Amino acid sequence: MSTEPSPSGIPLPPASGAWREGDPPGRRHWHPREKALSLEAGGELPGVRLAFETWGRLAPDRANAVLVLHALTGDSHAAGPAGPGHPSPGWWDALIGSGRALDTDRWFVVAPNVLGGCQGSTGPSSRRPGGRRWGGDFPFLTQRDQVAAEAGLADELGIGRWALVIGGSMGGMRALEWAVTWPERTAALLLLATTAAATAEQIAWANVQLHAIRADPHWRDGDYHDAGPGRGPHAGLGLARRLAHVTYRSEPELAARFGRSPQGAEDPWRGGRYQVESYLDHHAAKLVRRFDAGSYVTLVEAMNSHDIGRDRGGVRTALRRVTARTLVAGVDSDRLYPLSQQRELAAAIPGADGLRLIESSYGHDGFLIEAEQVGALVRELLG
């Protein structure tokens, strides 16, 4: 991160918050793919590699492996403290570890950074063969492309069948793709706050976020990664984050936490902020320092493409391919991925044990925050 000061004295963020060669590796390992990855939309992506982290030990029979799939702005650092190479603590730290629901004394837990991401896996900030960064030339990806890359990682690790595949939101989309594409490789499945196909409303919210990033004059058609500090599309990415974060939370929670209170001594009638505005500013500022706008665009477009029934005879026909023991759970206050979408999954997946409710005031983010309730579902599946 640059230490060049801004006029306020706060160091300017780098053009991209992506992990780069030469940064501390932290707990990451890498899986380089030998062959180019054929893409669903056509063409191929050469030089693919996935960053991933693991916890626990793989059993001699390789039957204790669990795949954990992150949401939009997550990464491979699902557990552990912040530190060199990891700007944030593990996003599911309360779920993974000795004695926790994903007990690392028993299970071998694998969390990859999604293809197209920015924390060590190949994405727009990465260098392509020849040395130039992909930038705006990075190809369009779908969830199926991303899962195909993860299957290569599983092959490299010698894991023929996951004891459990778990994911929420975007991670749930990929978990579902795993269970439909490779039912024989998915023994159990936990789908959290996700859907069988992106809806018009979800695509609409995403469209506004994409326009915010692309309208930033520092976007430069996606070719900004080697610009100086403060010269990335931070305003656009920050605006996208503000909008997304409102959809991730519930109206009652925002009302209870912030109401109409001003931020400290600031006067909203004289250019100051309300507390809720300061809260959104804080999350925007955090994201631009740890994430990449190009990856945000790539991953949001992949989420928009999500349709488990595409070229499979429709959603219901596709979901009948799932053979895993399955639990589907939704957050009762989720307004971005409402319960009706999880009901559809639970009704159509053979053997799914109804719809489970995660009770939370936090909205969509409840699948990340309510670790005790999610942990109970994990224990039910894994025994």
Active site residues: 169, 334, 364
8 A C-beta contact, residue 188 and residue 382: yes
Burial of 108: CB neighbours in 10 Å, binned 0-12, 13-18, 19+: buried
Tokens 């044990």 label which residue? Answer: 353
Q: How many angstroms separate the CA atoms of 47 and 222, rounded?
A: 20
Q: How many angstroms separate the CA atoms of 364 and 195, rounded?
A: 12
Angle between helices 200-214 and 293-304 (to 10 degrees): 160
Tokens 């053009």 label which residue? Answer: 15
Burial of 272: CB neighbours in 10 Å, binned 0-12, 13-18, 19+: middle
Tally Cβ neighbours within 10 Å of residue 357. 13
Q: What is the distance in angstroms between the CA of the first residue and the CA of the last residue of the chain?
A: 44
Q: How many angstroms separate the CA atoms of 245 and 237, rounded?
A: 12
Q: How many angstroms separate the CA atoms of 116 and 50, rounded?
A: 9
CA proximity to 162, closest of 110, 200, 203, 127: 110
Q: Which two tokens stand for residue 343?
A: 């009901």
CA gyration radius, the chain: 20
Q: How many angstroms separate the CA atoms of 368 and 192, rounded?
A: 9
Instruction: For residue 78, report the phi and psi dihedrals to the nearest 5 degrees.
Output: -80, -20
CA proximity to 153, closest of 51, 46, 47, 295: 51
Q: How many angstroms separate the CA atoms of 323 and 18, rounded?
A: 37
